[in-house]
Each structure stands twice: as structure tokens, then as C-alpha cells.
Structure 1
Amino acid sequence: MFYLLLFIFSFILTYLIKNYAIKKSLVASVNERSSHTTPTPHGGGIAIAITWFIGLVYLKFTSQIDETLFNTLLVGFIISFVSFFDDIYELSAKFRLLIQASVAALALFLLGGFNSLNLGFFTIENHFVTNIFAFFMIIWFINLYNFLDGINGYSGSEAVFLGLAGLLIFGGYHFGILVVAVLGFLFWNYNKAKIFMGDVGSTLLGFNIAIFTIYYTNQDSLNFWIWITLFSLFWFDATYTLIRRKLNKEKLSQAHKKHAYQRLTQANWSHFKVTNYSIIINLIILGFVYFIPNIYVAFLLSLILLFSIMQFINSKKAFS
């Protein structure tokens, strides 16, 4: 019943934020990076964040979440709070990076650090190395999720997928909270979006995925590869695009429309079609993880799948 109430709360709150944004002309303007053609209200991620934190507090007071995980996820409030103002005032990149670095350091402290990194052939157990890796991973996940939030339903459906996958593989009521918090927003964003998520939502979701990755890896080192595989649709696109732009000697801070999902929309695929196909790809990847006993094989198959898809996208819209 509580999860239903949270879904309804997220649904209604998103609706109210949408109407308020329209009334106050708080809309996402169309620019060179946009994949939309008409100004649309943004800030729907506020509903996700508020619902998420209410749910977390409920789990805490009903003893349904580990205290370490609760305290760490609560740090996400800082990134959401700053991103809320960034959506309105466009804060400087240096300030945002400083906040992200502070949040990453605090989160790692609360988690007790990143214990080890199992690379298959050998395991890195030097805590200085593993924590530096985790520190940058948190910052990268925050930013890449923001980069990939560009078309209707795309980042929201990814969060729902990861929440359901986490619930299936690991259990944990926090995954259910994540799913219903995003679903209430996703109703208004999935097809012909009435409102966008904004940085306030995307940065929080990226932070959460990074924390889940580190928390569960600290329980079992192989869990790192489970999360990296489940999240591969997003990080593969973001990393591939970053490397290609670097090789092209482009200014990486400059706005662009070269991510895979953006190039598909430029090739006249609708947002609805791109998002639906991304869900299918995610389900295939989940099948790899769930049914293949060796996670390294599942990871390799996922990379082969994603690389093949990238070649298909290159044929539709060249990376120029």
C-alpha cells in the first residue's frame, strides 16, 4: 500500500510542478544540444527526489534498509538541492564539479570506502587505488546520467529498469521506492513529454546507481560487474561518445548532439521508438546477467551487443 501511495504522490506532484512551471514560464529552451523542438517545462525530477527521500525515511523508521546504505543515499539530497538551483540559474561548471567531488568523497566515507576491484585476472585491494577509482566513478555516473537525459522517457525508463533489475537480483525495498518514485514522473514524460526531468532528477539517479554499485560490490566483488553490465547501455554510449569526440579533437565542454540516442532522433527515429528499443536492449542485457552463470561472459556479450548497435547507429547517422 505504501508503494502505491508513493506512486500517486509522485504522479500528482509531477502534475503540480508541470502546471507551476508553465504558469511561471520555467521551460527548457531549445538549443544546439536539444533533442526537442518546443519549449517544455522542466524540473519534474523534483517529484522524483522528494518521493525518493520520503520513501528512504520510511524505510529507515521501519528498519527496512541498512543504515550505512541509508546514510549514504541521503547524501544525494545535496546533489539534488544544488542541481535544483542549477536548473534555474545555470551554476558554473567549476562549482558543480566541486559539489560533485564533495558528495563523492562524503559518500565514500560513509560507505567505509571501496574495498576491492575484481578485474577477473587479478583483484586490486589497495584502498588508495580503489577509492580513487570509486571517487571518479561516482562523478562520472552523475554526469553521464545527466548527458543521457535528453529525450522523452529515456532516462526515466533506464532508472525503472535498473530498479526492477536490482529488486530481482539483490532484493531490497529501496529498489521498489526508486521504481515508484520514477514511474509517477514517467507518466508525464514517456511519450510526448509534458515535462522534463532536469538536472535535479538526472544527477540524483546517476548518484544512486554509483552508490548501489559500490555498496553491493563491497558485499561481493563480482557484484561490480553485475551493476556495470546492467548499466552498460548508458555508460557505453557516454564513454564511446566522449572518446570519439576526444579523438576528433573537439572541445569536450562544448554542447553537442552526438550520443547514440541523439543521432537516432536525427535519423528521424521518434523519441518513443528510441526509448522502446532501449528497453528491449536492457531486457536482453538483463537476460545475459540473470541466465548466464559467468558474469564476465555476460559482460562481454553485452559489450558485443552494444558495439554492434553502435555500428548500426553509425550507418544511420555518421559520427561526424
Structure 2
Amino acid sequence: MSIVIAVILLMSLFAVEVVYFKLADQFNIIDKPNHRSSHTYVTIRGGGIIFPIGAILFFFCFGFQYPFFIAGLFAIAFISFLDDIHTLNNKVRLSVHLLSVLLLFYQWDLFEYPWYWIIIALIFVIGTINAYNFMDGINGITGSYSFLAIIMLFYINSSVTPFTSSSLLIAVGLSLIVFNFFNFRNKAKCFAGDVGSISIAFIVIFLIGQLILKTSNFNYILLLLVYGLDAVVTIGFRVLRKENIFEAHRSHFYQYLSNELKWPHLYVSILYFVVQAIINFLLIFVIKESLSLCLGLIVLSAIVFLATRFLVEGRSKLLSKA
């Protein structure tokens, strides 16, 4: 993608986002704070619609690449946007999610592999989508964390192992720049909404899946280690407290930092960005294809994260049901 085309695409995405804000304001697509929220003011919901739009623009402008992935992305983004506007029946929503994931698998040629790989991939994809959605609770965290993932994937694609279209990475990266311009603020202009968090999760999963299938190197799951740790550890604590893990909550570590300790949202988002950036550096330049080093980093990170949570939040809060 040339610089001129990239600039035109960036300006187009800005224009689309501004138009969406006007429509969202007119049709009352807003996020009102409640007892689970980490914000205190009414904000436009669904600004993350720019992520699938960026990918779809890539599809039409760069040779109609990855049609099944784009079809799955469109379906999951559309149903998520409808869910942002009006809560849908879970069976309808989950059916579309499953269809989208199957289209993703078809784009990966995953059905050529033994059946158990499909089960493993299904668990990974569904788990990552839900983790992304749960982690999207404060200003800047989804946009900055995802932008870091795209930057690292672009570096790998350019300098380590070509595995996908660089134009797709650039288009998604530009959509994240637009979103972060409006969201990475003390008082955000918009929130991603389900359409944003679920769509960007779907995109990042597709790219990481391409990379893993190309290299047969599963260590690249470390690109999502920080989100994974917070999601998995939080579920573990909720199970120990005998809570319903499917109910909305404010039990993630980032939520404790922002809601209980009153850290500014952007500080917390930057913390997650920096820690993941360090992990990415270790992955690319130290761990590489070493499975033992990868497992060692996962175990060490889990120990440090658990110790930090016990130190900061306390044993009683983490293990005792309120």
C-alpha cells in the first residue's frame, strides 16, 4: 500500500467515524453508566464499528482477498452492532458467532486438519473473543492493546515471516488510529461497543491464526498473554467464589485499578500496553520457537500476576464472596 493510498484511507475512515457519531447521536446509540461501569458519563457506543469497516474497505480495494474471513467478520460485526442497539436473544447471537467462526476456519483451511484441531481452535477463538469483550471496559485499553498487536504482526510479516497481506494489517492499523483518536482520552468521545471489541478480536485472531498455521509456531499466542492472564485468572477467582461466570461483573484487575484504586483509565491502559510490549519483545528476540522458554514465560507471568493481585487486592477480596 502506497503512502498516498494510506492517507486517503485514513481520511476516509475519519470521515466514516464522524458520520457514525452523528447517526449514533441522532438514534440514541449511547452507553449510559450503571453500577458495573468504569465511566460516569453518557458516551456514544459502537465507535469500534470502524474496525470491520476498515477490513471491508481493504477487501474491496485490494483484490477481494480472504472472502470467507470478511464474510464471517461482516456477520459477527452486524449481529454485535444489533446487540449494541437492542439486546438480542442469546441463541441468535451465538448462532451467528458460530457461523462466523466456521467461516474463519474455512478461510484458514482448518477443515483439512484432524478433527481435534478444530475443537482446540474453537476453544481458543471463542475464548479470545469473550476475553476481548470482557476486557473492553475503560478508555484506551482495547484500542491501544489491539494496535500493539497489529504493530507486532506487521513487523513479523515484514521482517520475520510473511504470512498475510500487509495492506490488511495497514487498513486495520489505520482504523485503530482513528478509534484511538476518539477513545484514548480522559473523557472518551466514543466506546468500542460489542461491535468493536468482538470485531477487532475476530480480526486479531484471524491474523494470529494465519501466522501460527504458516510457521507451526504456537508461541505466537503470547501476543495476547496479558489479556489472557487477566481473563483466565479472573474466571478462576470467580469460580472459587462460586459466582456465575456468565454474569457481567467488575472483577478484572484492570477494573480494580481503575474503579477501586481510582487510577486514571489511560494509566491502566498504558500499563497493559507496556507489559504486553515487553512480552512481545521477549517473544520475537529471545523466545522465538523455543517451547520451553514460552512455557517458562507463561508460568512466570502467571506467578507474578497472581502475586500482584494478592498483594494489591488482598486475599479476602479475591477469595471471599461479597
TM-score w.r.t. the length of structure 2 is: 0.87
Indicate if the aligned counterparts of 1:146 and 1:202 stay in contact, CA closer than 8 A.
Answer: yes
- Post-superposition shift, 1:156? 0.8
1:13, distance to aligned residue in structure 2 (A): 2.3
CA distance in 1, matches of 2:70, 2:273: 26
TM-score, scaled to structure 1:
0.87
Structure 2 unpaired stretches of 5+: 159-164
Question: Structure 1 90/295 Cα, relative in aligned 2: closer, same or farther at 3 Å?
Answer: farther
Question: Would the alpha carbon gap of residues 60 and 306 (structure 1) be closer, same or farther in structure 2, given more than 3 Å must change?
Answer: farther
Aligned match of 1:119: none
Equivalent runs, 1:136-285 vs 2, <5 Å: 136-171=123-158, 172-173=165-166, 174-191=168-185, 192-222=187-217, 224-226=218-220, 228-265=221-258, 266-285=260-279
**Partner of residue 82, structure 1:** 79
- Verify the 8 A CA contact 2:101 2:125 in the aligned structure 1: yes
String of CA shifts for 1:6-26, please: whole Å, max 9, x gaps.
222222322332233234332
Give the distance between the partners of 1:177 and 1:306, measured in 2 at CA. 33
Q: CA distance change for structure 1 residues 285 and 73 in 2, over 3 Å: closer, same or farther?
A: farther
Matched, 1:130 2:127: no
Does the 8 A contact of 1:115 with 1:130 survive in 2? no
User: Which one of 35, 46, 50 corresponds to residue 43 of structure 1?
Assistant: 46
Superposed CA offset, 1:143-166 (max 9, x none): 211111111010111111111100
Q: Which amino acid in 2 is paired with 1:156? A: G
CA distance change for structure 1 residues 260 and 314 in 2, over 3 Å: closer, same or farther?
same
CA distance in 1, matches of 2:301, 2:124: 23
Partner in structure 2 of residue 305 of structure 1: 301
Alignment partner for residue 27 of structure 2, among 24, 28, 34?
24
Higher share in helix: 2
Determine helix, strand or coil for the equivalent of 2:36: coil
Q: Is the 8 A contact 2:131 2:231 kept in 1?
A: yes
Contact 2:47 2:193 in 1 (8 A): yes
Match of 1:195, SS? coil
Counterpart residue type for residue 304 of structure 1: L
Provide the residue aligned with 1:2 in structure 2.
5
**Mapped contact 1:51–1:181 kept (Cα < 8 A):** yes
CA contact (8 A) 1:145 1:206 kept: yes
CA distance in 1, matches of 2:140, 2:48: 12
Given that residues 150 and 169 in structure 2 are in contact (C-alpha distance below 8 angstroms), is that contact kept between their aligned partners in structure 1?
Answer: yes
Change (3 A) 1:138 1:114: farther
Distance 1:242-1:270 versus aligned 2 partners, 3 A rule: same
Please tell me the residue identity of whatever aligns with 2:62.
L
- The alpha-carbon distance between structure 1 residues 177 and 295, as it changes in their structure 2 partners (threshold 3 A), is farther
Within the alignment, does 1:316 sit opposite 2:312 as a pair?
yes
Q: CA deviation at 1:294?
A: 4.2
CA positional deviation for 1:299? 5.2
Q: Distance in 2 between matches of 1:239 and 1:80?
A: 25
Deviation at 1:205, TM superposition (A): 1.1
DSSP 3-state at the match of 1:253: coil
Show CA shifts across 1:102-150 (max 9, x none). Answer: 211222123221677xxxxxxxxxx111111112222222221111111
How many Å apart are 1:48 and its aligned residue?
Answer: 2.3
Structure 1 residues 300 and 175: CA distance shift in structure 2, 3 A: farther
- Structure 1: stretches of 5+ with no match in the other structure: 62-66, 117-126
Cα distance, 1:43 vs structure 2: 1.1
CA distance in 2, matches of 1:240, 1:52: 32
Q: CA deviation at 1:310?
A: 4.2
C-alpha separation in 1, matches of 2:238 and 2:271: 25
Letter in 1 for 2:6: Y
Aligned mates of 1:299, 1:152 — CA distance in 2: 31
RMSD of Structure 2 on Structure 1 (CA): 2.0
Q: Deviations over 1:280-320 (max 9, x none)?
A: 11210111012114443145325523541443244323425
Find the aligned partners of 1:161 and 1:83 in 2 and give their Cα distance. 24
Which residue type is aligned with residue 273 of structure 2?
I
Letter in 1 for 2:79: V
What's the % identity of the aligned pairs? 28
CA shift for structure 1 position 273:
0.4
For 1:120, the equivalent position in structure 2 comes to none
Matched to 2:245, the amino acid is L
